[in-house]
Amino acid sequence: MKYFFINLMVFLCFGFVNAQDQYQVFDREGTEVSLAQIITEANEKPLIFFGEIHDQSFAHQAELEVLKGLHEKYKDRVVIGMEMFEADVQPIIDEYFSGQINQKSFETESRIWSNYKSDYKPILEYAKENGIKLIGTNVPRRYANAVYHQGLSILDSLSDYAKQFFPKLPIQIDTTIQIYQEMLMMMPDHSNANMIYSQGLKDATMSHFILKNKNADEIFIHLNGSYHSKNKQGILSFLKDYPLEKTITIQTVLREKDHDIDFSSSDYTIIKI
């Protein structure tokens, strides 16, 4: 029996180490650090943007570890926001977290992403189990799609009901900032400005709902694709009077042969080993 427990402890320890060894964390200077440094720094910089690669499990593992670390240290001061949920499904999130509806109803009606069950469900369920408020920050995709096809002016024609799910019009989007120009260059003909306006609408809306739901004494961690917070642009471009020096940005990247990693585009970089 003694050897059984020894073997069990070895298995659990090595299992934990292997899970953590899937990524490394670096600061802006390229010095390796730990997640604990981010969690400690959050007390002075209580708005955290976790820029993920949507289809990479190591990024979601790191997100969950950061959330757990924040909750263990700061308890009920922690709030989480997610790009993956749109603002008009907030009542469904609230109903599920309060136990008014079951898991099946929640997942059926909240327009979950295709990789929700493998990548985001553990994060959401941890938040639910620990009483962490979760905010769906993104614009309903039908409006982002409308802007992509018809331009930003289409928002003016929408109903008052629709307009509650994005910032007050007019929305000023600076199409010249670096991340939007990089996105434009990725397009085949480099000419679809509506793509930038659609992205800008998402960024402006996420900023709007973050600021609307963050109280002064809270630590707010927001999960979003890396291009929504790269170079402290994107969502952060719409933070109005919130000081950028009170924010932390995290990016996740894959190590590519013969390609240098730009550590300077975020406060912290998490790299898959």
The pLDDT tens digits for 52-70 are 999 999 999 999 999 999 9
In sequence order, what DSSP letters do the residues of 36-82 get, joined into one string?
Answer: HHHHHHTTTS-EEEEEE-TT-HHHHHHHHHHHHHHHHHHGGGEEEEE
Label the pairing between strands 47-52 and 247-254.
parallel
Higher pLDDT, 256 or 122: 122
Q: What is the pLDDT of residue 7?
A: 40
Residue 272 has pLDDT above 80, yes or no: yes
Residue 40 has pLDDT above 90, yes or no: yes
Q: Indicate the pLDDT class of residue 257, thresholds 50, 70 and 90.
A: low
Q: Which two tokens stand for residue 56?
A: 């990479």
DSSP 3-state assignment of 34?
coil
Instruction: Among 12-16, 102-106, 126-130, name the one with the lowest average pLDDT.
Output: 12-16
Give me the mean pLDDT over the 30-34 stretch: 97
DSSP 3-state assignment of 212?
helix
Q: What is the pLDDT of residue 167?
A: 98
Q: What is the pLDDT of residue 15?
A: 35
* CA triple 178-249-40, angle to 5 deg: 160
Q: Indicate the pLDDT class of residue 5, thresholds 50, 70 and 90.
A: very low
d(CA 222, CA 75): 17
Instruction: Note whether 231 and 181 are within 8 A (CB).
Output: no
Residue 107 has pLDDT above 80, yes or no: yes
Instruction: Among 128-137, 155-164, 189-198, name the one with the lowest average pLDDT.
Output: 189-198
Residue 60's CB is within 10 A of a number of other CB atoms, namely: 23
Q: Residue 47 burial by CB count (10 A; 0-12/13-18/19+): exposed, middle or buried?
A: buried
The pLDDT tens digits for 164-186 are 999 999 999 999 999 999 888 88
Q: What is the pLDDT of residue 185?
A: 85
Residue 197's CB is within 10 A of a number of other CB atoms, namely: 23
d(CA 219, CA 48): 8
- Taking every pair of C-alpha atoms in the chain, what is the biggest distance, in angstroms? 72
Residue with tokens 């200077």: 29
Residue 9 has pLDDT above 70, yes or no: no
Q: What is the pLDDT of residue 259?
A: 74
Q: What is the pLDDT of residue 188?
A: 67
Please tell me whether the overall predicted TM-score, pTM, comes out greater than 0.75 for this model. yes
